[in-house]
Amino acid sequence: MKFNKLLSLITLLLITSCASNIPKPVIEESSLDSLRAESLNRMSLQALESTNKNHKKLALCHKKEYNKASELFKESLDKNQKNPHYWNQLGVCYFLKGEYSKSQMYLGISEGLAKSKKMKAIVLNNQGLIQLKLANYPEARELFSKSTELNSRALTPKFNLAMLYSKFGLLGKAHKLLFQLRKENKIDPDINYQIAHIYLLNKKFTLAKKYFEMIPDKYLKRDDVLTNYATTLYYLGDYQKAQKLLGEAPKQMPTYADAQSNLSDQISKNLE
Amino acid sequence: MKQLQLQFTLFLFTISLSSIAETKKAEDKRDVKNTPMTKDLSPKVDRWAYLMKLIDEEEKTINMVKKKSEHLEYRLFELYTERIKLYKEKENKAFIESSTKGKKISRNKAFRKTLYHYDITKKFGFKILKKYPRTRYKAEIWYTLALNSRDYAYDKKQLRYLKNALRFTPKGSVTWYLATVSLAEYYYNEKKYKSAVATYEKVIFNKEDEWYTKNLYNYGWCLLKTHKFGAAINRLEEGYTLSFDKKYIDFREQIMQSLVSFYVIGKEIQRGIKFIMENDKNPFDALYKFAGKTSAKGFYPETEQIIELAEDNFDSKKKVEQLADLRLFQFDFYKNFNKEDKLFKVSKDLSEIALNDYQREETIRKFSDKVRTEQIIIKKDFDKHAQSYDVKRLNSIKSYFKFLATVDKTNLALYEFYTAETLYSVQEYKESLVVYKSALENQLKTPAKEDIKRKAIDGLFSSIDFAELSKKEEKVELEYAYSKYLSIWPKDKKAQQIYPKLFALYLSDARHDDIHQSLVSYNKNFPDDLSKQQDLYRTHLDLLIKNKNTLLLSSKIKEMQTGFMKFTQGEVKKTEVILANLLFNNFQDLRSKGDDKDALAGYQEVFFNRNYPQSIKAEAGFNVGLIYTDLYDTAKSIKWFKKSLPLFNRKEQLKKRVYLEKMSQRSALLQDFLNAAHIQRLVMDNFCSMKEENKRNFEQAIEFDLANDYITKVLYTYDEYQNCTEPSKAVQTKIIKHLFEFKHESEFLSFIDKKGMLSAHQELISYYLERKFWQYFEKDRSKEVTYKNYLLKTDKAKYTALFKQIKSYHQLKKDVMAFSKNPLKMDKVFDGEKFNQKLNTRIKEIRPVIDLSKGLLKFGNANLTLLSYNEIIRLLDNFSQEIKSYTPQGLDPSYPKDFVPMFKKQMQQLAANFEKEKIEYRKSAHDFSEKYNILTERINETRQGYSILKAFDLRVPASILANTYDME
């Protein structure tokens, strides 16, 4: 029992450390990023450098320059005590830093100060992210759902909810949300990838392939996208393309290592 | 014979009486009280009584003789005369005593017995004269009567009696001589000088009389009175010279006393000088008197000459005294002759030489008269001549007062005062000021006969007013005057006005100790003026505030706190606030410039300084805490708050509480939750009794520690501070939620184990426990059991039912496994009939297993439903695969060649049915999940896309793709 506990702890630590090292998905072209107006999350470092001054602190957090950001937050505290955006940003920073309890505290303040539904939706989304990170999925779902209810035009909570549904195999719900999102931007790589992934799981390989092909090359080369695309190609019998793709995998996401390896072995067998 | 015996006895008696009388005479300065007269007499015998007794006894003895002779009669007459003398002596003494006591009594009354006995004696004398007209004692009797009349009765019968005495006595006899001398003296006394001269000329030849010198003296006077100056001087010189002879009565003193006058009157001064110098061995006295006489008559140079001689002829034993007498004389002499310089010199001398009491008194009197005169002159001159005066005269006055002060040391102060008055009168105010001060000081040291303190101080004040001093000088003098006045008359009416003036004076120079002392004194002596004194105190405070003298201001506050001047608490507090501001403004400036280190040092210095009042120290310490808070040094900030808070009074503490709570908030907003929580606990530590107010603090302490995920502290706070407030349900909920969400399982279980927790939060706790149960279900048996037990605690009925269903699920699993583990085995030799039977049996066997799941599916628990679905789907999948795998073995050759493919085809169709059922179950599971939004991490048949995920172990990490919502 104790050994199991220890093993779980080590595993958790490994996952955490791995997770912190996994590069977050970045979309350089703002036109491709359907969430660009709401989130700095998928901005590249260069793009973060040139954010406007209102989001300077947040940009620093996204760049992992937490201390600098903290100082700026402290400096601007007095004129922002009643500003829910300030607290939301601080909460996001702590979220990005991994200090979820503090993040929760500040997002709570933001929620208390938020007057508009739009603002509340923002905060709820970010609170949902904390629950998601803590693997408190019902709470995360609840928060993302409430966020979308408060602001049906907000794309980020919809996106996050779709990811959550997708994770738990609620593909119908995920599919619905993703198509709503796609209406806003047909060329968002992540949206197209998720749609393709759903089609793959539903064994609609041709459709899956169609959506994979909408994704620009540099975003196809992400481990998660690449692995799913290779799997689709495998089921479509395009072993060589699949194998080639697997050969170009950046191998930055350890959670896909097994799948890539297994797929590659299977393709090799089939090719033989 | 008898008579002879009697006479002999009387003779002896008379001798004894005479000898005793003579003994008495020789001691004529003896005290007549009970003192021994001779060695032979008893010490207690009264001389007067004794003598009277002797007279009485002799008289008695004589009266024993019946027929007395004229001698005896005469003796009686003598005794009677003696008796008068004794009575006169006695009554005279009494008369003098009563006169000195102020009693007035008539002479007749005073000398009643004397006059009585005089009368008796006179009558007796007349009786003898009548009885014995030819008595040999006739002249003696008349002579005695004359002396008695002269000495005792004053009945002016002396002349007649003397003339009769002379008439009845032969010329040249003793009685004649004595009577003539007495007559001469009579004439002298009656100022019948010519008669006196004529009478003296009859007797002056008698050089045998021991009283010759006296006679010469008297004769000389008579000659003088008759303007026979030369003869008079001759007689006196003769008398003086003869006085050296022991044969004669020494009349030198009296003679010289008169001679000096005679020389002057006779204008024979040089003769006098010569005589004195030649004859007087100690000529000083004579010269002194001589000088007095010559001076009185205006003989200046002669007097100078005599003085010079006197200076050279002091009696060695009396030099000191004589010198002083001479100087005193010279004083009057020079004064009378207006010789100011010499007068001054002599005065100076007088002030320096030794004086006896009389001389001192004389000197004082003379100096006083002199200086008084000078004062009058100088004042008159000053008034008359446009306020100008003779400086020399002023200096002289000053000097004389100094002389007086030297001679009369005890009255130094008085003389200084007079000097000051003189200076004041001529408007020499600066100088008078100095002298008034000196007079005052000396009066205090050695009081003069007149108390000049008040006058001196009045003079002092007045001099200051007029002296045209510089501001600085005026201050010095006023300070002296005020403080001196107050030291002498602290409760005087004028003092009441002076205290504030003195205070103001000290205040202008910021002399704090003096300011304080003056106020203490004012208060002590005029406690009813408290209101005024408080105003003065306030002005002092204002000065300290203006000069930013924080240390002294602090001591003043301490003073006020002890009740000095009876200030209200409000005023004390106000002053404390001012002090705090003064102290702290500097430090605040440092802080604003970023110099926290120096600001800290400053505050700490104030905190540790005993001189500051407690409230200030408290503020200082509190400020240190604030600085450390801003520097994010939580431990130190809390330490300082802990130190400083108890030093505040309760009211202040409550104010600080509010401040601390705000600070805690601010700390939290500035991302320092540790400090924020500490502060809340600190508040509760200090205000534990305020249970209602502490609710928020309790909640925030916990919230802030939750923000740090500092669970140990959260639980500590929860347990330790429950006595300070009632924990609310909301805070319990927060703790429970946090413990669950942040995966603090053991703490979660401990917390919900607390008394009443399960019942208060049943729904939430059961929800969380159930999630945990399903998380560990079939993965971690011990945790599964733990949570199972907890669930049963929360709601036994509900969860008993659940676990009953779980038991059914386990049975289902068992049955599924059993079914799957017991596939249909193909015979070695295929028998169709048999096979069909087996197959039917097998198909029949699956139904109950499937049916078992129906109850589970109906139960309505999401996890249980999906698990059940998973089992059924597996069951059906396994069975369809089993069916597909049937292949007949050992076929009889009678079977057609295509039997196996046909058999397989049939089996496929059969398997397809179960496949279809499986798909339906799967779809139901998917629909169930979608419908009820079930998020389960179990990846199994119930998950959509399971086959694809399973094929290559594909993962779906949603969190990495989730996005923050940053921008509005």
Helix axes A84-97, A66-75, angle to 10 degrees: 160
Is A250 buried (19+), middle (13-18) or exposed (0-12) by CB count in 10 A? exposed
pLDDT tens by residue, A129-176: 999 999 999 999 999 999 999 999 999 999 999 999 988 889 999 999
Q: Is residue A57 part of a domain?
A: yes
Query: Per-residue pLDDT averaged across B69-91, rounded?
Result: 91
Q: Is the pLDDT of residue B42 over 80?
A: no
Q: Is the pLDDT of residue B499 over 80?
A: yes
Q: Is residue A235 part of a domain?
A: no
Q: Is residue A241 part of a domain?
A: no
- Residue B687's identity, in one-letter code, is F
Taking the CA atoms of residue B822, residue B827, residue B832 and residue B837 in that order, the dihedral angle to the nearest 10 degrees is -30
CB distance from A262 to chain B under 8 Å?
yes
For residue A21, the model assigns a pLDDT of: 62
Residues of B with CB below 8 A from A138's CB? 771, 935
Q: Shortest CA distance to A190 belongs to which of A25, A46, A37? A: A25
Angle among Cα B726, B728, B732 to the nearest 5 degrees reads 120
Q: Is the pLDDT of residue B461 over 60?
A: yes
Q: Is residue A243 part of a domain?
A: no
Q: How far is the first Cα of chain A from the last one, in angstroms, to the nearest whole number? A: 45
- Residue B282's identity, in one-letter code, is N
Secondary structure (H, E, C), B848-898: HHHHHHHHHHHHCCHHHHHHHHHHHHHHHHHHHHHHHHCCCCCCCCCCCCC
Longest dimension (CA), chain B: 242
CA distances from B3 to B9, B62, B396, B730, B779 (A): 10, 11, 86, 159, 182
- Please state, in angstroms and rounded to a whole number, the distance separating the CA atoms of residues B101 and A183: 147
**Cβ-contact B883, B831 below 8 angstroms:** no
Residues of A with CB below 8 A from B958's CB? 132, 163-164, 166-167
Q: Is residue A239 part of a domain?
A: no
Chain B nearest CA to A47, separation (Å): 15
Residues of B with CB below 8 A from A147's CB? 965
Q: Give the distance, in angstroms, between the CA of residue A132 and the centroid of all CA atoms in the same chain.
A: 11
Query: Per-residue pLDDT averaged across B55-60, rounded?
Result: 91
Q: Is residue A263 part of a domain?
A: no
Centre a 10 Å sphere on the Cβ of residue B650 and count the other Cβ atoms it contains: 8
Burial A161-171 (b: 16+ CB within 10 A, else e): bbbbbbbbbbb
- Please state, in angstroms and rounded to a whole number, the distance separating the CA atoms of residues B501 and B485: 12
Residues of A with CB below 8 A from B739's CB? none
Residues of A with CB below 8 A from B954's CB? 227-228, 231, 256, 259
Rg of the Cα atoms in chain A:
20
Chain A residue with CA closest to B940: the answer is: A169
Chain B nearest CA to A101, separation (Å): 5
Query: Per-residue pLDDT averaged across B530-550, rounded?
Result: 92
- Within 8 A by CB and 6+ apart from B604, the residues are B620, B624
Residues of A with CB below 8 A from B965's CB? 38-39, 92, 121-122, 125-126, 147, 154, 156-157
CB contact under 8 A, B930 and A156: no
For residue B39, the model assigns a pLDDT of: 45
CB distance from A89 to chain B under 8 Å?
yes
Indicate the length of chain B as a whole number: 968
Helices (H) and strands (E) in chain B, counts: 46, 0
Chain B nearest CA to A53, separation (Å): 12
Q: Is the pLDDT of residue B224 over 70?
A: yes
Q: Shortest CA distance to B294 belongs to which of B286, B302, B284, B305? A: B302
Of chain A, the percentage scoring pLDDT greater than 70 comes to 92
Task: Give the phi and the psi of residue B551 in degrees, each rounded to 5.
Answer: -65, -45
CB contact under 8 A, B670 and A77: yes
Longest dimension (CA), chain A: 70
- Please state, in angstroms and rounded to a whole number, the distance separating the CA atoms of residues B842 and B887: 16
Residues of A with CB below 8 A from B742's CB? 100-101, 134
H-assigned helices in B565-633: 569-592, 596-608, 614-630
Least confident of A98-107, B58-67, B690-699: B58-67
Chain A nearest CA to B869, separation (Å): 15
Q: Give the distance, in angstroms, between the CA of residue B182 and the centroid of all CA atoms in the same chain.
A: 84
Helix (H, G, I), strand (E, B) or coil at A16: helix
Task: Give the phi and the psi of residue B492 in degrees, each rounded to 5.
Answer: -65, 155
For residue B958, the model assigns a pLDDT of: 66
- Please state, in angstroms and rounded to a whole number, the distance separating the CA atoms of residues A56 and B343: 111
Residues of B with CB below 8 A from A169's CB? 926, 929, 939, 943-946
For residue B957, the model assigns a pLDDT of: 66
Query: Per-residue pLDDT averaged across B753-778, rounded?
Result: 92
**Element housing B610 (H / E):** none
Q: Is the pLDDT of residue B422 over 50?
A: yes
CB contact under 8 A, B948 and A200: yes
Q: Which residue has the tokens 């001060």?
A: B437
Residue B631, token pair as written in the block: 């520097």
Q: Is the pLDDT of residue B851 over 80?
A: yes
pLDDT tens by residue, B656-702: 999 899 888 888 998 889 889 999 999 999 999 999 999 999 999 99
For residue B859, the model assigns a pLDDT of: 87
Q: Shortest CA distance to A30 belongs to which of A185, A191, A197? A: A185
- Count up the domains in chain A and report the number: 1
- Please state, in angstroms and rounded to a whole number, the distance separating the CA atoms of residues B847 and B180: 201
Contact map slice: A 196-225 vs B, CB within 8 A: 197-198, 200-203, 224
Q: Shortest CA distance to A250 belongs to which of A41, A62, A33, A22? A: A22
Q: Is the pLDDT of residue B736 over 70?
A: yes
CB distance from A131 to chain B under 8 Å?
yes
Task: Give the phi and the psi of residue B133 in degrees, each rounded to 5.
Answer: -60, -20
Of chain A, the percentage scoring pLDDT greater than 90 comes to 58
CB contact under 8 A, B935 and A170: yes
Query: Per-residue pLDDT averaged across B849-873, rounded?
Result: 89
Rg of the Cα atoms in chain B:
73
Q: Is residue A14 part of a domain?
A: no
**Cβ-contact B281, B269 below 8 angstroms:** no
Chain A residue with CA closest to B942: the answer is: A169
- Residue B496's identity, in one-letter code, is Q
- Residue A89's identity, in one-letter code, is Q
Residues of B with CB below 8 A from A74's CB? 670-671
Q: Shortest CA distance to B960 belongs to which of A217, A272, A254, A64? A: A254
- Please state, in angstroms and rounded to a whole number, the distance separating the CA atoms of residues B726 and B736: 17
- Please state, in angstroms and rounded to a whole number, the distance separating the CA atoms of residues B450 and B421: 15
- Please state, in angstroms and rounded to a whole number, the distance separating the CA atoms of residues B536 and B521: 13
Q: Is the pLDDT of residue A69 over 60?
A: yes
CB distance from A113 to chain B under 8 Å?
no
* Mean pLDDT of all residues belonging to chain A: 87
For residue A97, the model assigns a pLDDT of: 93
* Mean pLDDT of all residues belonging to chain B: 88
CA distances from B571 to B529, B562, B565, B578 (A): 19, 13, 11, 11
**Element housing A220 (H / E):** helix A217-220
- Tally A–B CB contacts below 8 A: 183
Residues of B with CB below 8 A from A42's CB? 963
Query: Per-residue pLDDT averaged across B807-825, rounded?
Result: 90
Q: Where are the beta strands (DSSP E) in B489-543?
A: none
Q: Give the distance, in angstroms, between the CA of residue B876 and the centroid of all CA atoms in the same chain.
A: 110
Centre a 10 Å sphere on the Cβ of residue B209 and count the other Cβ atoms it contains: 18
Q: Give the distance, in angstroms, between the CA of residue B478 and the centroid of all CA atoms in the same chain.
A: 23
Query: Per-residue pLDDT averaged across B166-181, rounded?
Result: 87
Contact map slice: A 9-28 vs B, CB within 8 A: 19, 22, 24-25
**Cβ-contact A250, A217 below 8 angstroms:** no
Q: How far is the first Cα of chain B from the last one, in angstroms, to the nearest whole number? A: 179
CATH number at residue A139: 1.25.40.10
Its ipTM equals 0.90
pLDDT tens by residue, B758-768: 999 999 999 99
Q: Is the pLDDT of residue A90 over 50?
A: yes
CB contact under 8 A, A38 and B959: no
Q: Is residue A85 part of a domain?
A: yes
| Domain ranges across chain B | 842-961
